[in-house]
Chains A and B, each alone.
Chain A
């Protein structure tokens, strides 16, 4: 092959066969990997060199067959049937050696598309533990392709694999199945067209036609399996005595009808204990650190508008978010461990019955639990839910789970609830925080049930899930998950907070026309101290930010909020955690006293109408409820739009969540005030 020409190779295979692990090992990239079928939901391309040959490698989501059921499978099959960008020079088929028969079904289907194939036999170590031994040379002879044993996890066998990648000619074909007695002689020439036809029908959502095609396909699938088993009988040996595996021993406890449920609850309990208890210590250090930085800057910067922007808006805003880094790190690390060990699929198995009642699916548990971290990747993770209605409901309710962006808001509000109370506040706060998470989950189930009743079911819901073998979580993998997520969180949140703080500061510092001059003129007879205070707060009221807050005040007054909180609600649409920075900026602009902490400043605020404390228990509870339920995340709406291909669903999501938030906050405020 011409070394100047890039060789395009594709990784295909069943879910959880280790394609992405191999992709990472070959390219040096760090795509997300785990022991959870369906982790890869998009195709990803990377590059590497074998000697002088430039290779482009595309990793596809796993699929069980060429007849896709889920959205993720459709991506892979669509790509294999109609390659984009460049023709495929080679398909490296990654097969789990411990489950070769089922893996070879897809292999045979891809080979029959006419691609040059290479079989990478992965996870031989696990297969050996199950008592499986495979005659590589014999298998290679039968399939007519090179077979490379690899261990992607430990990067064993990569040199041989690379050698083979170069060696296979891009014109080499090794078709598998000839159609047998059930098809005409034109089987191959028609195979690709037949499949393409099916895919288009699938996209058109024509269940009648799909049913008609099905009969032919299942006969073909059975025939393929029989041929595969015939081949394997000559090259695969299974020592039944050795097959007392580790996974079955663990599952006999974790999938036990009683112990299994207990184990699941204990896992959740442990998760929250670690998030709230262990994270407390580093959170304290970070808080102290930021207070110190803010103080030091205040003392060294020249007094004025700029100093107040940095010290009162930007620094506390960023600090208010960084403080949650320990909790987010622990959350993401634990989720990575759950996924990489193989336990997450068991959670789906245990909860499917319950979830079904609410119009969801055992597979919805993965997005819902992930929603406690962030709704955006979780909504994308719903792609492996095959039933369209189950998937849509999962997408719609996942943002009700309390995500990590709500944490800073909850914590600030909770500190107001328990200000100047006795020593027990730490426990109470933790308890209420746990309650907020529970509330999100209950609301998600409630709305799932409502959507189940409203939405029409077009196809039968089903639950067919492979439970992979348990594996030791990879430390490197967990660390990369933390690094990627934590970095993302700090960088993105930091960017938005700085931006919003600056915009807000300008909006609060300028007013249309000469309103500021009028105020200055009005108070020209007052003493200096009095004047500063009055002028500052009246200035905020007439500023652009004030106008914004005043505009929406009528809508939020029944919830117990004033126009200042209104400003924070509006800026929260950039990201919920911006609330903290916004509140900090607003009150420091309005209040020249810089000495007090933010929660003390808030506690001293009075309502204009009756001069009672603004942040009363009723208002704070109402705000907590509002932030728990309201759809205030533009990125989530964007991802819902992308996943549902329709503007209708993000709109539905926005209005049902925000409407419910308004109603519940209204009720809570009226009850407690």
Chain B
């Protein structure tokens, strides 16, 4: 499963970023293995998508979100 498939409001754990020209950039922005990611908002027409990454908002295009492999995780209240 990748981050673009995450449902609005759901939180997941990042476990891998696919190799591409943007891999290091995405990791630098906080999408590293073990960090939490939550889908916050979706722009009109479904793209781009805004995520909460450890307390800040990061907007990514769908294409970039697809590079982020995640595992769904139960939300702790």
Complex: A258 Cα to B30 Cα, angstroms: 29
Q: When each residue 55-76 of chain B gets 1 if its CB lies under 8 Å from chain A and 0 otherwise, what string results?
A: 1111111011000000000000
**Chain A nearest CB: distance from B53 CB in Å?**
8
B47 at the interface (CB under 8 A from A): yes
Is the beta-carbon distance between A99 and B55 smaller than 8 angstroms?
A: yes
Q: Which residues of B have CB within 8 Å of A229?
A: 34
**Chain B nearest CB: distance from A98 CB in Å?**
7
A605 at the interface (CB under 8 A from B): no
Complex: A503 Cα to B50 Cα, angstroms: 56
Is the beta-carbon distance between B24 and A214 smaller than 8 angstroms?
A: yes
Q: When each residue 23-58 of chain B gets 1 if its CB lies under 8 Å from chain A and 0 otherwise, what string results?
A: 111111110111100001111110110100111111
Contact A247-B57, Cβ < 8 Å, known A67-B28, A462-B64: yes
Complex: A620 Cα to B65 Cα, angstroms: 51
A238 at the interface (CB under 8 A from B): yes
What interface size band does chain A fall in? Answer: 35 or more
Contact A352-B56, Cβ < 8 Å, known A102-B30, A217-B24, A221-B27: no
A663 at the interface (CB under 8 A from B): no
Is the beta-carbon distance between B32 and A225 smaller than 8 angstroms?
A: yes
Is the beta-carbon distance between A465 and B59 smaller than 8 angstroms?
A: yes
Is the beta-carbon distance between A218 and B60 smaller than 8 angstroms?
A: no
Is the beta-carbon distance between B43 and A459 smaller than 8 angstroms?
A: no
Is the beta-carbon distance between B23 and A218 smaller than 8 angstroms?
A: yes
A460 at the interface (CB under 8 A from B): yes
A257 at the interface (CB under 8 A from B): yes
Q: Which residues of B have CB within 8 Å of A65?
A: 24, 28
Is the beta-carbon distance between A350 and B54 smaller than 8 angstroms?
A: no
Give which listed residue, B26, B35, B47, B58, contacts A465 with CB less than 8 A.
Answer: B58
A467 at the interface (CB under 8 A from B): yes
Q: Which residues of B have CB within 8 Å of A32?
A: none
What interface size band does chain B fall in? Answer: 35 or more
B17 at the interface (CB under 8 A from A): yes
Give which listed residue, B17, B55, B59, B61, contacts A98 with CB less than 8 A.
Answer: B55
**Chain A nearest CB: distance from B58 CB in Å?**
6
Q: When each residue 41-74 of chain A gets 1 if its CB lies under 8 Å from chain B and 0 otherwise, what string results?
A: 0000000000000000000000011010100000
B22 at the interface (CB under 8 A from A): yes
Is the beta-carbon distance between A459 and B21 smaller than 8 angstroms?
A: yes
**Chain A nearest CB: distance from B32 CB in Å?**
5
Q: Which residues of A have CB within 8 Å of B41?
A: 251-252, 255-256, 349
A353 at the interface (CB under 8 A from B): yes
A474 at the interface (CB under 8 A from B): no
A557 at the interface (CB under 8 A from B): no
Complex: A105 Cα to B54 Cα, angstroms: 14
Is the beta-carbon distance between A349 and B64 smaller than 8 angstroms?
A: no
Q: When each residue 199-242 of chain A gets 1 if its CB lies under 8 Å from chain B and 0 otherwise, what string results?
A: 00000000100110011011001100110010000000010000
Give which listed residue, A243, A348, A362, A467, contacts B57 with CB less than 8 A.
Answer: A467
Contact A251-B40, Cβ < 8 Å, known A69-B25, A464-B26: yes
Chain B residues near A (Cβ < 8 Å) = 17, 19-30, 32-35, 40-45, 47-48, 50, 53-61, 63-64
20 A-B residue pairs with Cβ-Cβ distance under 8 Å, sorted by A, are A67-B25, A67-B28, A69-B25, A99-B54, A102-B29, A102-B56, A130-B55, A214-B21, A226-B34, A238-B55, A251-B40, A255-B41, A255-B50, A258-B44, A350-B43, A353-B47, A459-B21, A462-B64, A463-B59, A463-B60
Given contacts A101-B30, A218-B24, A466-B29, 17 further A-B contacts (CB under 8 A): A64-B25, A99-B54, A214-B21, A218-B17, A222-B27, A251-B40, A251-B41, A352-B43, A352-B48, A352-B59, A352-B61, A353-B43, A353-B48, A462-B25, A463-B48, A464-B64, A468-B57
